[in-house]
Amino acid sequence: MFEEDRLAILTISNETAEHLRQFAASAAISYSVVPIGDASLPSPFADVRSIPTTFFIDRNGIIKLAAEGLVSVEEAKAILHAER
């Protein structure tokens, strides 16, 4: 669907590692799911008001777009192609 060098997906959650393992297995998630426990995240990640929130971050670590709510495959493709 996406070239591996164009897209990396990382999910961050404050839920327990065991809960996330079970959820990832039941939902057949093949990308990284990271538990942070009680750790705090820096802004803007700590300011998330809606789940899911998607951050499109370029190779230099610059946030290009933050989208609240679901992002469809078509929207994600359009965003990635706009970055070329």
Residues forming beta bridges with residue 11, ordered by sequence position:
33
**Mean pLDDT computed over 13-23:** 91
**pLDDT of 44:** 92
Range of the domain at 25: 1-39
20, 46: one domain: no
**Mean pLDDT computed over 69-81:** 85
31, 47: one domain: no
pTM for the predicted model, two decimal places? 0.73
Q: Which of 81, 58, 70 is nearest to 2 (CA)?
A: 81
Checking if the pLDDT of 2 tops 80, the result is no
Whether the Cβ atoms of residue 7 and residue 80 lie closer than 8 Å to each other:
yes
**pLDDT of 51:** 86
35, 11: one domain: yes
8, 28: one domain: yes
Extract the tokens encoding 28.
């057949």
What letter represents residue 35's amino acid? P
55, 82: one domain: yes
Extract the tokens encoding 20.
């996330």
16, 28: one domain: yes
66, 30: one domain: no
Question: Could you give the CA distance from residue 29 to residue 26 in angstroms, rounded to a whole number?
Answer: 8
For the ranges 45-49, 58-62, 78-82, the lowest mean pLDDT is seen at 78-82
**pLDDT of 58:** 85
Total number of domains in the chain: 2
31, 49: one domain: no
